[in-house]
Structures are given as C-alpha cells and as structure tokens.
Chains A and B, each alone.
Chain A
Amino acid sequence: MELRIDRSSVERCRALAQAIAAPVSDFIDAHSTVAVERSVLRLLGVDGVGADEIPVPNVIVDALGADAKADGVSLAFGRAVAETGLAPEILGREIAAGSHAVTDFARVPAEAARAALRPHVEAGLERVRSRRVERDERLARLPQQPAPLLYVIVASGNIYEDRTAAVAAAEAGAQIIAVIRSTGQSLLDFVPYGPTTEGFGGTYATQANFKIMREALDEASERLGRYVMLTNYASGLCMPEIATTAALERLDMLLNDSMYGILFRDINMKRTFVDQHFSRMLNAYSGIVINTGEDNYLTTADAVEQAHAVLASQFINEEFAHRAGMPDRQIGLGDAYEISPDLEDGFLFQVAQAQLARQIFPQAPLKYMPPTKHMTGDIFKGHLIDALFNLTSVMTGQTIHLCGMLTEAIHTPFLGDRVLAIENAQYVMNTARHFGEEISFKDGGRIETRARDVLSDCERLLSRVAETGMMESIEGKAFADVSRPPDGGRGFDGVFARGPEYWNPFEEALRAELGLSAARGAAAAVR
C-alpha cells in the first residue's frame, strides 16, 4: 500500500525546514533561560522546596543578578560548591534555608568552580544514562506487543486514583499510560513538589508523582510480561525541568512540540525555542521518545483545509529534533483523525494523510491522535468514529495510538470507558492487522490525489515561512491562524543572552555525547 508521491518535493520540504530552523538555532545558541538553568541544578542533584513551597532550583536561579545569570547558574553554584565543599543537594537546601547566598562566592575563580562541579556533572549524566540502560534491559526482557501501541490517558487529579486507573488500563491492554497534567500547569514557572491529590482536568506533574506511577507500572509490567510505558508533558514554562525529572524517573515518552506552547498557551516563542532545544538534547540522551502536537492545529482549524499545516509542522518538528541530536526513532510526529464525520469520503482523506506521513517519515514512531472535535454526547456514534480511526491507524502503520474515548466530549475517562476504548482498538487492529499490506491505492485516485495536494500545499507553506522567517511567520499567523509576537507572551522575562563566560556543563557534555557541534553563541567563540 504505497502512495506514488513526488519524492523531490519531499526533499525540498526537508531543505526548507532546515532553512527555517537555521536562524532560530543561531538565536538558541546565544541564549539561555531560567528554566534551562534550573534544569542544570536539578541534574546536579538540587531538589526540594524552601520557604512558601518555592522549589530550591527557583530560589537559587532567582537570586542571581543579571551578570551572574548571563554566565549561567553553573559558575555561581560551582563556586559555592568549591568553597563549601558541600554536595549540591545539601548546598541547595542550605541556600534555600538562608545559611548561604549563592552570590557570596564571586571571588572564587571560575576554574575552581568548573573543577568542583565536574564530578557532580558526571554523576548527573550517569543517573540519566543508567535509567536509559534500565529501560533497554526491561524492554528486552518484557517485549511490547506490536504497534500501533495502545496509549490511554489518566486524569483524575489524584495520583493514587490515577495509579489504580493506569494499572487497570495496562491489564486491559494499554501499552502506554499518559498522566494528563492539571490544567494551567504549563503556565507555572516552577515544578510543584511532592505527591499531589488535587488537580483540575489532570494531575500535577511532579517528580514524586512520576515515581509513584513508574513503580506501579513496573510492577504491572512484570506481572503482565510486557513493558508498560509512561508519558507526561514537557511543555509550558518548565519544559526542560520536566525533561530532566522524566529522565531521572525513567519516563519513556514526553509530549514536546516546537510550536504548541507558543500558539496555544501564549508562551513566548524565544523562551520556547531555547527551552525546547535543551529539553530535546536531554530527551535524546535519555532515550525518551517525544510526541509532537500537530493534532492541536486541527482542534481549532478545519482538518481538511489545514492538512498541509500538519505536514509542514511535522517537517519543522523533525528538523528541530535532529538539531538537538534526536534520532528518527525518538521523534514521534503527530497527526489526528479530526475530519468531520459528515464529509463524504472523509475517511479517504484521513487515510491519505496518515499514509503520507508514514511514507515521508518511515522511521519515526508516528503518534496518531483520536477524534475529539466532532465527538458529541452521542457515545454510540463516538465509538463508531473511533473504530474507523483505529482502522486508519492499523492500515497505515501508525506507531503510537492514542485510543479514542466514546465519552470524549463528556468527562475525563471513567475506568470502564478506557477499557471499552482499548477493546475497540484491539478488535479492529486484530481483525484488520495486515489489511494495509493487501491493498494498493488506485493510481491517481482520490486518496493519492489528496496526498499529492497536501504535499504540494505543504511545500508552498514551508517556502513562505522560509522566506518570511520562523518567528515572523508565527507573528504573521502562518500557523493555526494565531499571531504571537517574538517578544510577547508568557515567560519572555526568563530569557537572557549568554555572556562571554556562559557555561552549561550539561549542554557541553550532551553535545559531545550526541555528536553535535559546539554552540555557536558568544560563549563558544570565547573558549
């Protein structure tokens, strides 16, 4: 089942995506953010909360003056480590308690700071590496069932109820569990601390909650003889910190999109690009598969009209991920089954789009999102639409399959809803397992023509964006019909230019490990 498409157009799209990303990379290399710096502290082992429940990494980064911040938190914190001889975690707590000020050690030479942090940087990397090795071992011992991997969400607000729901879903056949975050967490400029039992529309992402869920799923995996994956959201103002805690607690996937926060949460674009690059380097090193968010374009815009924007975003997400050292097998590009059920031949268009992505990104673990926009309170019709979504997914070889809920438009899923959704997917995918291998598309037929149109519209959109520039295009409503100015939105005040002495030891190490060239910003030029 192969679409005959213009391969040269695909190559041009990739070249355009490179041209679009290159100037953004230059910006990224010359800047850092408070969230990146807080992630560095977390990787060094800093954790816990101080007065008023403010996380220790926030306390330390917020205490830096503009000059010290421009050098990166590592130098200031490294000086404190060199002088006090304390381990980062203990030093962090003492700073939060007021026994030391991170700014008190400016006279300690930079070389001493670097030397003092070196073992802690090594230890941090080793923690991340060991979690990855652990995942590989478990996956080898407890193999997953064949793709599409059935993915469901839990979202009660209470991590202990979520745990019950997740284990029940795993028993019913779920292979990936995502814990939806409390609505609004993406706008918090700190990561909440400890286990949580209160949330709205979801459960707070905290390191303690990650740990609780990971343990429960590990136990279920052993019992079921197949590894059950865990997912959360590296998006919003704490994107790199979530990437960090996810690496440390062996999450397997993270939602992470190059434009989602900008367009749909009004998070500043510069903040997003810088945070995202560091997050993705870390994801690459942790072996975490990212899930990009192209489905979101279709919840606000029309899925037929905006199909080319989905493909364009997939090219852009792929390029940014490659630039962060991610291999194709970790880039879960997104799409969604959102065409109106009233449209004649809508199913054909869905197949065209899904198959197009499969052929253009053959190694990517594509993430397929279920219908949401056209789901109503009519659960019976909803279950039926979900069945056709399931068929499209298995036919076109999607990898990560978010099971559609018959109660999508009504409430966060009940335990029983999730099981019905999994059973729907299992039935359809089993009964039509090799359907895609048995059929071929009519030459120049409706499906192939549709795929060709989407590809050529995508190339046109990418050329426009390449000509205008990425940031300017976002301001000019090129995506999702939303305009965001480069210096507007949430979190812009947390973006800063790297000074000539800027130092981020984890970025250095990750670049080396991932085979990326050194940052071309001011710092690299000096050293």
Chain B
Amino acid sequence: MSTSVKPYGDTMNDGKVQLSFTLPVEWSEAADEAARQLVAKMGFEDVQVAEGRRIASGFSFFVVYASTPQAIDFSTIKAPSAKTHAMSMEEVDAFVNERLGRKVRVAGACIGTDAHTVGIDAILNMKGYKGDYGLERYHAFETFNLGSQVAVEDLVRFAKEKNIDAILASQVVTQKGSDVRNFTALVELLEAEGLRDRVVTICGGPRVTNLMASELGYDAGFGRGTLPSEVASFIALRLAERPALSRS
C-alpha cells in the first residue's frame, strides 16, 4: 500500500500550500510577478498571488497559494517520541518507589543567558501545566529549580555536588543558534566531567524536538505542549533501564 502523502487542500493529492512573505521591494505589479516567479522557482506549481501590497517604503507583503509536486513516503519517517510511555503522577511515584526505592534528584535550569523560565517552570513548579502537576509535587522527585541564566558550569557543578540523577536544560531564545550552542556546551562539559553516563539529560524548549535532542547527545528532548508527567515518566523509565543508576 502506498504511503505517499501530499498536502491536502480540498482534493486528495492536490498539493495545496499557503505561503506568506515579505520582499524588500516597493510594491508594484512587477513585485507581484516577482513573488509569483519566486514561488515557482521554489518548485511550486499553479502559483497564485492572492494578496500583494506595500507595507512600508521599500517593502511589500504577499500571500500566495500554490501546489507542490512533491510527496513524501510516510512509512520512511523516523521521529521517535520520548512521550510514548507516559504514566500519571501516581503511577510514576509508585514506579519509582518500587523500582528505585529512593527519591530521584532532578535539577532544572534555563541555561546560558536565557531568562525565559516559562518552560522549565511549567515542568517543575508544583502547579504544573494544563492541570498536570509539576515535578515538585511528586513524591518520587527531589526537585531543584535553579531558575534563569544559569551558566552550564554552575549547573554541572551543582549536579556533581548534589548527586543529581536527571538534568533538565531549557532554552527559549534560539536566535543565531544560541540554544544549540548552550545545549552542546552542557553535554560536552558533562562528558568532560565524567558525568554524562550517570545522569539522564533532557533538553526542552518550544523549538526542541526529540530528534534534535538525540543528535545533540541528550537522552530526550521535549518541545511545545509537553506535560510534566511526560517528562516525569521518561526520567523514571530511563533510570530504571540503567541498573548502575537505579541503586546508587
């Protein structure tokens, strides 16, 4: 059976997409035509410039509809999720109690110069996110929220001193790749300090995917909409998989 898919407008395989963008030119009919040709050059077919207008001197804005001739074989896609075996808070508490027999120590921080703690707070704070309680509320966890703008050196030192089992590193600001740079610096330092295999490393943020996290050398990555229980379940299960960790 074919698993080839294309965007769906109103008919199977019509390949319809919507695009909008700004061009740094004064608007004119030529600007509309330039937008159309540009989208055609991107490989789209049946390009229609639905809207084109001046938005500031030297700038024009376009809304374009077009069809793509491209399709994707869905059966070949690999993007493993870290959320597949989610448990409830009670289940995680019971699981950790039974399998580890002690509290799991979790440290979280917004690393580098990033000051946006909304993500790490949603996961760690008692209150949690969307009615799903944060890790501070779990019996299974002893939680340390180090807050914003934590240097990776300080986070690693803290992890060492407190015998941390799982590190949660958060990045919201992604401008010019600062998130990837900070995430990489953390993993490299953990590696250098010989801690990499002793802690569960998790990164999070609105632009983080689990695939990206594994490429960076993390155990898991959690993106937008993640619930605390999903992170909690992952930590518990990953620790239980590592016999060396579970009874330290």
Contacting residues, chain A, for B206 (C-beta < 8 A): 377, 409-410
Q: Which of A376, A412, A419 contacts B56 (CB 8 A)?
A: A419
In whole angstroms, how far apart are the Cα atoms of A373 and B129 in the complex? 11
Cβ distance B77 to chain A, nearest Cβ, rounded Å: 19
Contacting residues, chain B, for A415 (C-beta < 8 A): 22, 55-56, 59
Q: Which of A183, A266, A416 contacts B173 (CB 8 A)?
A: A183
- A residues contacting B by CB (< 8 A) are 157, 167-169, 171-172, 182-184, 186-187, 200-201, 264-266, 299-300, 302, 373, 376-377, 409-412, 414-416, 419-420, 481
8 further interface pairs, Cβ-Cβ under 8 Å (given A415-B59, A416-B21, A416-B22): A183-B114, A187-B149, A200-B178, A264-B115, A410-B206, A414-B22, A416-B61, A420-B61
Cβ distance B205 to chain A, nearest Cβ, rounded Å: 11
Is B56 touching A184 in the complex (CB atoms < 8 A)?
no
Q: Is B94 an interface residue when CB atoms closer than 8 A count as contact?
A: no
Q: In the complex, what residue of chain B is closest to A199 when comparing beta carbons?
A: B175
Ordered nearest first, which 10 A-B pairs have the shortest CB separation? A184-B113, A168-B56, A416-B22, A201-B173, A419-B55, A171-B56, A183-B113, A200-B178, A416-B61, A201-B175
Is B118 touching A416 in the complex (CB atoms < 8 A)?
no
Contacting residues, chain A, for B176 (C-beta < 8 A): 157, 200
Contacting residues, chain B, for A412 (C-beta < 8 A): 175
Is B224 touching A409 in the complex (CB atoms < 8 A)?
yes
Interface size class of B (residues with CB under 8 A): 20 to 34
In whole angstroms, how far apart are the Cα atoms of A416 and B178 in the complex? 24
Contacting residues, chain A, for B61 (C-beta < 8 A): 416, 419-420
Q: Which of B191-248 contact A (CB under 8 A)?
A: 206, 224-225
Contacting residues, chain B, for A373 (C-beta < 8 A): 118
Q: In the complex, what residue of chain B is closest to A184 when comparing beta carbons?
A: B113
Is A300 touching B22 in the complex (CB atoms < 8 A)?
no
Is B21 touching A200 in the complex (CB atoms < 8 A)?
no
Cβ distance A269 to chain B, nearest Cβ, rounded Å: 16
Q: In the complex, what residue of chain B is closest to A202 when comparing beta carbons?
A: B175
Knowing A200-B178, A416-B21, A419-B56 touch, does A266 contact B113 (C-beta < 8 A)? no
Contacting residues, chain A, for B55 (C-beta < 8 A): 168, 172, 415-416, 419
Cβ distance A239 to chain B, nearest Cβ, rounded Å: 16
Sample of 25 A–B contacts (CB below 8 Å): A167-B56, A168-B55, A169-B56, A171-B57, A183-B113, A183-B115, A184-B149, A186-B115, A187-B149, A201-B175, A264-B117, A265-B149, A300-B117, A302-B127, A376-B224, A376-B225, A377-B224, A409-B206, A415-B22, A415-B55, A415-B56, A416-B55, A416-B59, A416-B61, A419-B56
Cβ distance A108 to chain B, nearest Cβ, rounded Å: 43
Q: In the complex, what residue of chain A is closest to B206 when comparing beta carbons?
A: A409
Is A200 touching B113 in the complex (CB atoms < 8 A)?
yes
In whole angstroms, how far apart are the Cα atoms of A384 and B147 in the complex? 32
Q: Is B165 an interface residue when CB atoms closer than 8 A count as contact?
A: no
Knowing A419-B56, A419-B61 touch, does A265 contact B115 (C-beta < 8 A)? yes
Q: Which of B20, B57, B114 contacts A416 (CB 8 A)?
A: B20
In whole angstroms, how far apart are the Cα atoms of A522 and B118 in the complex? 43
Contacting residues, chain B, for A302 (C-beta < 8 A): 127
Contacting residues, chain A, for B174 (C-beta < 8 A): 411
Q: Which of B102-146 contact A (CB under 8 A)?
A: 112-115, 117-118, 121, 125, 127
Is A266 touching B147 in the complex (CB atoms < 8 A)?
yes
Q: Is B170 an interface residue when CB atoms closer than 8 A count as contact?
A: no
Q: In the complex, what residue of chain A is closest to B23 when comparing beta carbons?
A: A416
Contacting residues, chain A, for B118 (C-beta < 8 A): 299-300, 373
